[in-house]
């Protein structure tokens, strides 16, 4: 039983790490601000959910699990809001969402 | 563990010197304050590094578990007050910079000295 | 694994510090300073300093960023002059770093339990806390009781910084000296026009306040205490001010209340100290505050932590309002 819980939490943590890596690569490789933020938001949502779920499985049925669930709820509410506020501020500052795409970068003469 | 200890001390020196360079070399007053903030954080890192005991845990007693090894609480107390004092002095420094900007019209040190000389 | 984690965090720290110093855009530098503070807080946590990590995260990554941004809004955002005497500065910094590096060779091995710092007072504190004060968090016991005099001085430093900033930037007066006119009711203030941050922010403010109160009163049982709680409660009000505008926040918690908090906290600390004298013992001796010395100590610690929290909240919010209300020239 303990082995099963360990395997489940390993899988969840590894998947969360993979999503964080994907978000990081996206934040580096995407062509403009909006696509980069879209990639980084993967870290905030899927990455956070999977990592915290993995840690919750490890913690078992203790007070720590409830605290982790509260942290997860807080993260899920505030991270998308801050991404929205950032995108809204960028729009107001005049950064246009059509500053090229990856295809343009590759086909440039 | 040996390597980690040396690495902590060397990173402390590097970050200390980066902050010191910002205070000494940069001309913008706010950049100098930011450098001072980095300098302070490096010193905090040194103190807390010295308080760690290997195999220890945070110095909070737990009634169910006894006989644990605890890390040293004294540097932690000193650094806790130091952090709050640091932010207070930084806030005061920023207030002075804002007033300087209003009086002189600039926050670059060489321009301020230029205006003073006239 | 711990070695890998520690090395990774420290390397990120150095990279962030270099990026902060090299960038010419001060806004970027302040944001990176927030990340730097958070990385230092993570470092403190893996070095078993839970209280300090909480304080650094709340004060360094939270309040410090807001204050710097407030100052940036009143000055310029770009660093215009290039570094003049670059070679000389590098030479000075290199000499200084060689001296400090030479000193690191004499430092004790990392984590050595026989290092001199773990020998004299620290084992006494760890041993006597259950006997004299009987609270789980040793850091709060040392901060509040064994080293209470230092904390008193520090509360007064925070108070002085608050008065200093209020002298320099007395609220609602700009360089022209006229009073800032009240906003017309329909004007776009704060983030009121933006629905999502407004709704989520208003939803979160009471929870942040509640968490601040939790941290304040649980400082004896876990990481927490007055400083962290003060920073958290100030952060809740700053969030409210960012969303609803500064006028509304001053209506919610007026400047007179902030002055009362600032003064009242420091006064409470001093009164608790003097109460020890009046009840026949030394200054800041809490054992005489109740019939049982141990409960007296606990009551004393609760009172002074409340005083610390009040002063820190009042000062941080007053400084924020001083920066936010300043007329832009």
Do C197 and A78 lie within an 8 Å CB cutoff?
Answer: no
- Domain encompassing residue B15: 2-117
pLDDT of residue B1: 61
> Touching check for A85 and chain C: CB below 8 Å?
yes
Mean pLDDT of C273-289: 86
B23 bridge partner residues: none
> Touching check for A62 and chain C: CB below 8 Å?
no
Closest CA to A40 of A15, A25, A28, A23: A23
Reported confidence tier of residue C186, pLDDT bands at 50, 70, 90: low
Q: Which residue has the higher pLDDT, C145 or A105?
A: C145
Chosen from A81, A82, A88 to mutate, greatest number of chain C CBs within 10 A:
A81
Chain B residues with CB-CB distance to C60 below 8 A: 41, 83, 87
Question: Six-digit token pair at C16?
Answer: 């962030």
Report how far residue B43's alpha carbon sits from residue C112's, in angstroms, rounded to the nearest whole number.
20
Report how far residue A105's alpha carbon sits from residue C116's, in angstroms, rounded to the nearest whole number.
60
Worst-scoring range by mean pLDDT, A66-70, A101-105, C176-180? Answer: C176-180
Chain A residues with CB-CB distance to C194 below 8 A: 85, 88
Report how far residue C309's alpha carbon sits from residue A56's, in angstroms, rounded to the nearest whole number.
32
pLDDT tens readout for residues B40-96: 999 999 999 988 888 888 888 877 777 778 888 899 999 999 999 999 999 999 999
Question: Six-digit token pair at C106?
Answer: 């004499």
Residue pair A101/A31 in contact by the 8 Å Cβ criterion:
yes
The answer, yes or no, to whether ipTM is higher than 0.90 is yes
Do A85 and C203 lie within an 8 Å CB cutoff?
Answer: no
Per cent of chain A over pLDDT 90 is 36
Chain C residues with CB-CB distance to B102 below 8 A: 175, 329
pLDDT of residue A101: 57
pLDDT tens readout for residues C49-86: 999 999 999 999 889 999 999 999 888 888 777 778 88
Structure-token match 């290997």, residue found: B54
Q: Which contacts (CB < 8 Å, 24+ apart) does range C2-6 have?
A: C2/B4, C2/C46, C3/B1, C3/B3, C3/B4, C5/C46, C6/B4, C6/B7, C6/B8, C6/C43, C6/C46
Report how far residue C258's alpha carbon sits from residue C316's, in angstroms, rounded to the nearest whole number.
9
**Nearby residues of A18 by Cβ (< 8 Å), 6 or more positions away:** none
Report how far residue C269's alpha carbon sits from residue C308's, in angstroms, rounded to the nearest whole number.
8
pTM exceeds 0.95, yes or no: no
Chain C residues with CB-CB distance to B107 below 8 A: 75-76
Do B80 and C79 lie within an 8 Å CB cutoff?
Answer: no
């Amino acid at each position: 039983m303990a082995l099963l819980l360990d395997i489940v939490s390993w899988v969840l943590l590894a998947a969360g790490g993979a999503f964080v890596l994907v978000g990081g690569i996206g934040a580096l490789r995407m062509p403009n601000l909006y696509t980069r933020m879209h990639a980084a938001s993967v870290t905030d949502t899927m990455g956070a959910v999977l990592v915290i779920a993995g840690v919750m499985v490890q913690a078992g049925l203790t007070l720590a699990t409830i605290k982790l669930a509260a942290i997860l709820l807080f993260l899920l509410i505030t991270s998308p809001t801050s991404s929205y506020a950032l995108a809204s501020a960028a729009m107001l500052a005049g950064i246009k969402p059509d500053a090229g795409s990856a295809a343009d970068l590759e086909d440039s003469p | 563990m040996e390597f980690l200890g040396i690495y902590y001390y060397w990173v402390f020196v590097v970050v200390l010197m980066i902050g010191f360079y910002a205070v000494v070399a940069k001309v913008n007053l706010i950049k100098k304050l930011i450098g001072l903030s980095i300098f302070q954080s490096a010193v905090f890192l040194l103190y807390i590094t010295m308080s760690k005991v290997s195999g220890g845990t945070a110095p909070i007693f737990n009634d169910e578990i006894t006989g644990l090894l605890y890390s040293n609480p004294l540097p932690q107390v000193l650094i806790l007050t130091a952090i709050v004092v640091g932010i207070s002095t930084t806030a005061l420094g920023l207030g002075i910079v804002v007033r300087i900007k209003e009086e002189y019209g600039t926050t670059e040190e060489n321009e301020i000295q230029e205006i003073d000389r006239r | 694994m711990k070695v890998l984690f520690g090395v990774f965090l420290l390397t990120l720290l150095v990279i962030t510090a270099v990026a902060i110093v090299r960038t010419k855009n001060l806004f970027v530098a302040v944001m990176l300073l927030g990340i730097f503070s958070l990385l230092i807080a993570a470092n403190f946590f893996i070095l078993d300093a839970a209280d300090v990590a909480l304080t650094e995260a709340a004060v360094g990554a939270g309040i410090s960023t807001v204050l710097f941004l407030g100052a940036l809004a009143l000055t310029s955002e770009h660093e215009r002059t290039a570094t003049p005497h670059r070679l000389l500065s590098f030479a000075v910094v290199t000499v200084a770093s060689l001296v400090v590096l030479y000193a690191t060779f004499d430092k004790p091995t990392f984590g050595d339990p026989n290092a001199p710092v773990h020998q004299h007072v620290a084992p006494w504190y760890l041993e006597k806390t259950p006997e004299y004060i009987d609270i789980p968090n040793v850091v709060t016991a040392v901060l509040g009781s064994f080293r209470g005099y230092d904390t008193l001085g520090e509360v007064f430093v925070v108070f002085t910084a608050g008065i200093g900033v209020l002298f320099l930037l007395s609220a609602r007066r700009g360089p022209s000296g006229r009073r800032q006119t009240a906003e017309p009711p329909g004007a776009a203030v704060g983030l009121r026009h933006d629905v999502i941050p407004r709704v989520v922010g208003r939803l979160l403010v009471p929870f942040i306040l509640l968490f601040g109160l939790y941290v304040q009163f649980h400082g004896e049982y876990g990481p927490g205490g007055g400083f962290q709680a003060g920073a958290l409660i100030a952060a809740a009000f700053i969030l409210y001010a960012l969303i609803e505008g500064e006028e509304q926040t001053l209506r919610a918690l007026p400047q007179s209340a902030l002055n009362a908090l600032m003064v009242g906290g420091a006064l409470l600390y001093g009164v608790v100290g003097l109460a020890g004298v009046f009840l026949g013992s030394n200054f800041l001796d809490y054992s005489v505050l109740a019939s049982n010395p141990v409960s007296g100590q606990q009551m004393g610690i609760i009172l002074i932590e409340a005083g610390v929290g009040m002063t820190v909240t009042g000062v941080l919010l007053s400084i924020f309002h001083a920066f936010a209300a300043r007329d832009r020239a």
